[in-house]
Chain A
Amino acid sequence: MIRHDPLAVRVAAIEPLSATLKRLTLESADGGALPIGSAGAHVSLILEGGDRPFRNAYSLVSMPGERGCYELIVRRTAGSRGGSAFIHERLGEGSVIGATVPHNLFPIQRHARKHLLIGGGIGITPLLSYLPALRQGGERLELHQISARDEVPLFENLLAPHAAHDVHVHAGRGALDLSALLARQPLGTHVYVCGPAALMDHVEAAAAALGWPASRVHRENFGAAGGDPFTLRLARSGREIAVGPDQSMLDALEAAGVPVPSLCRGGACGECLTKVTGGVPEHRDHYLTDLEKAEGALVMPCVSRAKNDLLVLDL
């Protein structure tokens, strides 16, 4: 139960779905059971290629509860020189890569009376794991997938195992009247949307205009763990310490042998409070007051980062 990231996973299969989409099947590199993935969960893959590791988040499309493998679908983004290009060009079956334990920021709302699922393009992926979970629970649902015209057969294929009267694929945004769709939902419906930001914004705005409470509208969001790398300078010794994109300041300080007291490691307890003497912190904690955050003279290194390349700490 107490896991340490990252997991080592082996690429068991790579299946091309179209010119730009591949399905990856990952198994535990040691052959054991994987931590459980749930409907809506994602993992971040850590890919060592080139001068710095890529870290990309992908929704799991495997059966919720499956512990033998993780399946995910990766679209090669046009002009990508990052993780998706790496996966499409350089990753082969048998490769061993890092993956974080599944984390769910887009969970099914168990008390909803009905689940309205709206996907745009590759945003279908978390909803693919929703379908079996909702069907198994006998829940009421309706799914609408919006797709580019030439990809309609592709998404129909992906949805084929779940095909039913309540699952629809539309060719283009214009083919679906979102406001009318929302307006005819029964009371107690929750809507889940995943896709391009413009689609998610549109659904949110249309629901708000119809008076839906925000608590019944859910959008996919991988969260903001990590961020751009930056450098810490310790004011007292002049020492400089690099903070990597997946590393917290606290991790980097500890790795460099600089002890900082800590307890919760999640920005709540106040234990790691550290004075800032230069640079601007990007606050991500729940401990400092808004005023303290605005002043920028204090930082919680367990979660916060830097707005610029350099942050100077009174250490």
Chain B
Amino acid sequence: MSIAFKTDEIFRDGFRYANSDAAILRFPFPFVEDSYMYSVNIEPHVRGGPTPAFDAVLDIDEHYIGECRERALVLAQDPNRCMVLPHMMAAQWDTLELIMESLAADYPDHFQLGKDGDRWTWRNRLLNIEDSFVFGAPETLPFEPFEYITRQMQGDFTLQDQRDGNLYMDGGMVTSQADWSLEFDLGMTFHEWHGPVPLAHDLGVFDRALQYLLRLQYGRPVRRLNWTMTVNPRLDTSPENYPLWGPDRTTVTPENVGDKLHLRVELQTLYRLPRSNAILFSVRAYLASMNELARVPKWGRRLHRVLRDIDPALEDYKGLGRYRRMAIEHLAQFDDGAPTGKGIAPEVDVLPA
């Protein structure tokens, strides 16, 4: 199916963002049942899933152009949002190759990759980019390879080096994060950078996840969904920018909560990189307002129940704190008490007008 790319979206003050019906129906809704608790919800990243967001190795959608533009704006103000430690050069080329090959294979109308030995030519028709370069020679690209290619992607990326039975975050492109900072986390171990997550440490979730990821194999990527709530369709909710987005929270009212409060879902995919043996972590964020999601009857019901019954310890971490009550009261109108089907599929093909 062809994607109608939007060209004028704004992800900061002056917001201009909405999901088409097609984008709502393909949303990777994260709640498989009517309640939510942490678990090691990692599964093989095979093609296909409950919505088309799982069909490609790396998913792009109608917000591609706007999100790439937003990334360029953030980097212009703060170049340290992209950093890679020097020993990760092989991982940089691994990343460039993985992204170019999968985009060219999954979206041949928009991206083309030509190879003549080490001489590669990359065409990105959506951003009007065409570059020829020598694979392995960073000086033949306008940026280092990791920055070059992740500037042309939706979602954040981090690079993990594996050593001493642990994973170290030794690089990243992080411009649309949910309140964490690459500059702060760079060089940290797996448990250190997960430090702030409540409950999960007690459950042993990270010990198990680390053991699993240390054994991640090339050619067998894995994925999981994570979620949080955010006010306004703002991508850059970084700690550095708190003065910009913190005040958003005081603007929510019972009247506007349905349009202002967004569910932010991260489709996280992890890839073992072949040359460097590093792990590429892709965090692809999807934003949809409560009202957009509630147009899918099953999701409206379920969202109401999940927020109503959530463990209070998770409230703040998930960005719910002060407007959880407002959201529940607003969502109650979409919950007629009917049972919901298992899994996350929307179970409708078209949305009611």
Which residues does A use to contact B, with CB under 8 Å? 1-3, 5, 35-38, 40-41, 64-65, 101-104, 107-111, 137, 215, 263-270, 286-287
Contacts and interface: CB of A to CB of B under 8 A. Distances in A.
Contact of B43 (A103, A108, A265): A265
Interface of B: 39-47, 57, 87-88, 90, 98, 101-102, 161-165, 207-209, 211-212, 215, 217-222, 271, 274-277
A286 B271 contact: no
A5 B44 CA distance: 14
Consensus secondary structure, chain A interface: loop
26 contacts: A1-B98, A1-B221, A2-B45, A35-B218, A35-B219, A36-B274, A36-B275, A37-B274, A38-B276, A101-B218, A101-B219, A107-B162, A108-B277, A110-B161, A137-B90, A264-B40, A266-B212, A266-B215, A268-B208, A268-B211, A269-B39, A269-B41, A269-B42, A269-B43, A270-B40, A287-B208
A2 B271 CA distance: 10
Most chain-B Cβ atoms within 10 A of its Cβ — which of A109, A110, A137?
Answer: A110
A287 B276 CA distance: 28
A312 B275 CA distance: 42
A111 B275 contact: no
A2 B219 contact: yes
Given A2-B221, A268-B212, A38 B275 contact: yes
Given A38-B275, A270-B40, A104 B211 contact: no
B343 to A, nearest CB: 12
Contact of B222 (A36, A64, A264): A264
B88 A3 contact: no
A260 B284 CA distance: 30
A102 to B, nearest CB: 6
Contacts of A110: 87-88, 90, 161, 276
Contacts of A269: 39-43, 208
A207 B340 CA distance: 61
A1 B106 CA distance: 11
B277 A38 contact: yes
Contact of A104 (B41, B44, B218): B218
Nearest to B214: A286
B123 to A, nearest CB: 20
B217 A101 contact: yes
Nearest to A64: B275
A59 to B, nearest CB: 14
A264 B222 CA distance: 8
Contacts of B102: 1
Contact of A1 (B44, B57, B164): B57
B161 A111 contact: yes
A105 B39 CA distance: 28
Contacts of A5: 219
A286 B207 contact: yes
B163 A263 contact: no
Contacts of B219: 1-3, 5, 35, 101
A5 B277 CA distance: 19
Given A64-B275, A266-B212, A111 B163 contact: yes
A245 B221 CA distance: 24
Nearest to A111: B87
Contacts of B277: 38, 40, 104, 107-108
Nearest to B45: A2
Nearest to B274: A36
A1 B101 contact: yes
A76 B11 CA distance: 63
Most chain-B Cβ atoms within 10 A of its Cβ — which of A1, A3, A107?
Answer: A1
